[in-house]
Structure 1
Amino acid sequence: MATKAIKHFRLRELVRAPPPPPVLKSTPSSSSFDFAKFESLQPNPVAPESSTNNFPKRANPFISTKNPQTGRWSPPKYSLRQQADLIKKARSSGTLALLPPSPKTSAVRLAAISFAKAQPLAKKHQVQSDLETQVEISTKDSEERWTQPIEWVGQVKERTVPGAEIGNRLYAGKKRMFKGHKWERVAEKKALKRKMLMRDMGKRIQRYKQASGFSVLLPCIFARCTYSFCPIVLQEEATKPPQAIQDLGREASILDTMDGAFIALVFHASLFLPCTSSAHSCAVRKSQ
């Protein structure tokens, strides 16, 4: 089955017409061009490479080709997936030399070399005998038409991937191998926040159970509304709050995101309990 696929590929490419010769660019007219300056800028002429063999020339279907008339590049006839499938079949049937050069063949040959090096000494003779049998089969099939040599036109540009030779292409050339999951990156902050909440959890629960929601919220809201309209009191009492109120405000900000809105409102309201006396004094001053 593998040999049959390679045979169909070769026959299909042999039937195709040979690639057209490259079109030479026309030189500019002598009236608008300085030939002396042009000759000084040109490099030394190099004789073009001419093949002495009489092999049929065919365009390499594994690489992109350029149309000499339009100057546009056409994609490869076979995709990388199809090339990989053909290379696998050629390796299993021992006809890898019959395929044209491809970006995939270099990686396959490197893998075959590394696999042969990894074989133990006891299996080397067996591998060598298998290679000899494959060579014999290929020489017998060379008499057929589909196994005749072909000159593939085109140059394969191999892409150099860092770390491909050692089998580590993912982390080659990177400062950090793995950035980690998100839960790993935020674990330290979450542990610190959890420690802050659990430090005084018993006192917080006891304080919440002793105070009713409406009995705390309604006076505090009224006092806050009255206190907000007293600029004289704001100027007199614009001092730094004590450490206990700062800690309570920090815990309330954490509770906003973790323990629910109702408990956070209770603790926010408890911050303004001292405001009732200030509101009363403000009202007395206004009456005077």
Structure 2
Amino acid sequence: MATRLITRFRTRELTAALQAHPTAAGLPVKAANPFVPHKNAATGRWAPPKYSRRRQAALVKAARASNALHLLPPGPKLGRAALEAAVAATPKSLRLKPSNKEATWARTTSWVGKLREKTVKGADVGNRLYAGRKRMFKGHRWQRTMPTRELRRKMVLKSMKSRVRRFKSVYRRRRPNPLGRAKVTAKGGKLPF
């Protein structure tokens, strides 16, 4: 299934390129990269990629499954460097080979179209979201205020023995003595109403 998906993709793209610009059998076919947007020379307007990101991801997944990554053009889902690394990692004996050398999908291809790859801070270490930020900008309020509360808690716990001792001494002084005389107020113990 995965192999058939890749061969159908290549056949469709290379047939269209060969119809537009026929070339000799030994020369590589120049085909527009269907994974990147193209600018129309006549109108000057940009046309979106022929394949959506979802379909590109499906093609890359199928190509990985059938060891046919070398047959795909570079795109946003599989950049040029990642494509070259994946091709180098796959031994030639495992790569998808055509049974018929004359098959359209098996022809060597040079993909035309510029792929703009973004460099994202922190992508190399696996932390893209908070790379270069001083503090966390997501989460609940209790999560955002947790570091300051932990610092305050740590400082209070350092002096906890003396705080407990001080509290107990004040509490003992304020506690009424059950054997002592009752305190008489200035008003003479009247009812409040």
TM-score, L = length of structure 1: 0.43
Q: Which amino acid aligns with 2:74?
A: P
1:133 Cα deviation (Å)? 3.1
Q: Deviations over 1:138-188 (max 9, x none)?
A: 265655331111221111111111111222211211112465521345676
Displacement of 1:54 in angstroms is 2.4
How far did residue 112 of structure 1 move?
Answer: 5.2
Please name the residue that 1:173 is paired with.
Answer: 132
> How has the CA–CA distance of structure 1 residues 139 and 131 changed in structure 2, closer, same or farther, with 3 Å as cutoff?
farther
Q: Over residues 193-216 of structure 1, what are the superposed CA-to-partner deviations in whole Å (9 max), with x where a residue is unaligned?
A: xxxxxxxxxxxxxxxxxxx9xx9x
Instruction: State whether residues 59 and 152 of structure 1, in contact with CA within 8 Å, keep that contact through their aligned partners in structure 2.
Output: yes
Percent of pairs identical after alignment? 50
1:34-183 alignment, distance < 5 Å: 54-106=27-79, 108-109=82-83, 131-135=91-95, 137-138=96-97, 140=99, 142=101, 144-177=103-136, 180-183=139-142
Distance in 1 separating the partners of 2:9 and 2:41 = 25
Q: Distance in 1 between matches of 2:145 and 2:123?
A: 34
Distance in 1 between residues matched to 2:71 and 2:124, nearest whole Å: 25
Higher relative contact order (CA 8 A, sep 6+): 2
User: In structure 1, what is the Cα distance between the partners aligned to 2:19 and 2:40?
Assistant: 10
Q: Helix, strand or coil for the counterpart of 1:131?
A: coil
Q: CA deviation at 1:15?
A: 2.3
SS of residue paired to 2:35: coil
Change over 3 Å in CA distance of 1:186–1:54 after alignment to 2:
closer
**Greater Rg, structure 1 or structure 2?**
1
Output the CA distance in 1 between the equivalents of 2:93 and 2:42. 47
Name the CA distance, whole Å, in 2 between partners of 1:158 and 1:175: 26
- Give the whole-Å Cα distance in 2 for the aligned partners of 1:145 and 1:163: 42
**1:18/1:76 Cα in 2 relative to 1: closer, same or farther (>3 Å)?**
farther
CA contact (8 A) 2:29 2:107 kept: no
Gaps of 5+ in 1: 22-52, 117-129, 189-211, 216-288
1:12 aligns with 2:12: yes
Q: Which amino acid aligns with 1:170?
A: L
Shift in CA distance, 18/9, structure 1 to aligned 2, threshold 3 Å: same
CA separation of 1:110/1:178 partners in 2, compared to 1, >3 Å: closer, same or farther? farther
Structure 2 partner of 1:281:
none
> RMSD of the alignment, in Å?
3.4
- Decide whether aligned partners of structure 1 residues 16 and 112 sit closer, same or farther in structure 2, where only a CA change above 3 A counts: closer
Where does 1:130-279 land on structure 2 (aligned, <5 Å)? 131-135=91-95, 137-138=96-97, 140=99, 142=101, 144-177=103-136, 180-185=139-144
The answer to whether the 8 A contact 1:19-1:57 is kept is no
Give the structure with the higher percent helix: 1
Structure 2, unmatched stretches of 5+, are 150-191
